[in-house]
Amino acid sequence: MSLVKDSVSVLHFLYRNGPIGPEMIQALELRCTPDTISYLEDRAFVIRDRDGLMNLHAIVRRLCDDLEGNLGTFPPRDWLFQFPLAERHGTRELFLAMPFSKEFDVVRTVMEHAAASEGFAAKRGDEEQQAGIIMNQVWDYIRHADAIVADVTGRNPNVLYEVGMAHALGKPVVLLLREDEPAPFDITAARRITYRVEDLSKLELELRAAFKALPKLPHGTLADLEV
């Protein structure tokens, strides 16, 4: 995975800045080893000119132009290269997808406590008030999170939309549902934690077990495991 990420970093730089030589690689401290260069050249992603400078193959550049042009309106223009490039260090993060109504406040408290107990910071989409399109911000939260915890009780359309975004990114998703409710059809077969508001201590124990089982991957790393 590291080789692929390093290669994407080099492709990103070449797309934004043009040809690059060995001296510039060292000066910019790009993570680019001989293996990275071989990986890119063997696949004809990059070519060298007469001076030995690396540049994107014309077809790869046209592909990047087409992708950026077609996908440039949502999220912001450079999102294409932000995943999985954007790495963060420190506390691992969970994104909480759940209705914002007060009746779910007790469940949110349990989620946050279970997350903290297992070394995660939990964040919900309404926590940070920023200028801009809210769904771009939610996308960014989900993209950076190690996993998503989604309470699909009540079939809230926003929650289900966020679950879909998480699945599209290959993020681990921990689904919650109150015992007395049927699961939404599209995720009927998915594993989930059912809970009763009258027994939230049991929910916390199950959440902690689920968080403990999450793959220990760096921020922004694709995962194919659903708890």
List, in order, residues 6 or more apart from 22 with CB less than 8 Å away: 52
Helix (H) or strand (E) holding 159: helix 157-168
Gyration radius of the chain over CA positions: 21
Q: Which of 46-50, 124-128, 141-145 has the lowest mean pLDDT?
A: 124-128
Are 2-71 and 92-213 the same fold in CATH?
no
How many whole angstroms separate alpha carbon 38 and alpha carbon 61?
19
Domain boundaries, the chain: 2-71, 92-213
Fold of 92-213: Rossmann fold (3.40.50)
Pairing between β-strand 193-195 and β-strand 92-97 as defined by DSSP bridges = unpaired
Contact call for residues 222 and 85 (beta carbons, < 8 A): no
d(CA 193, CA 183): 11
Q: How many CB atoms lie within 10 A of CB 181?
A: 12
Q: Is the dihedral of CA 153, 218, 42, 20 positive or negative?
A: positive
What architecture is the 2-71 domain classified under in CATH?
Orthogonal Bundle (1.10)
Task: Answer whether residue 78 shows pLDDT above 50.
Answer: no
pLDDT above 90 for 84: no
Tokens of 152: 């699909």
The whole-angstrom separation of Cα 202 and Cα 179 is 13
Least confident of 14-18, 187-191, 197-201, 204-208: 187-191
- The predicted-structure confidence for 101-135, as pLDDT tens digits, reads as follows 899 999 999 999 999 999 999 988 776 666 556 77
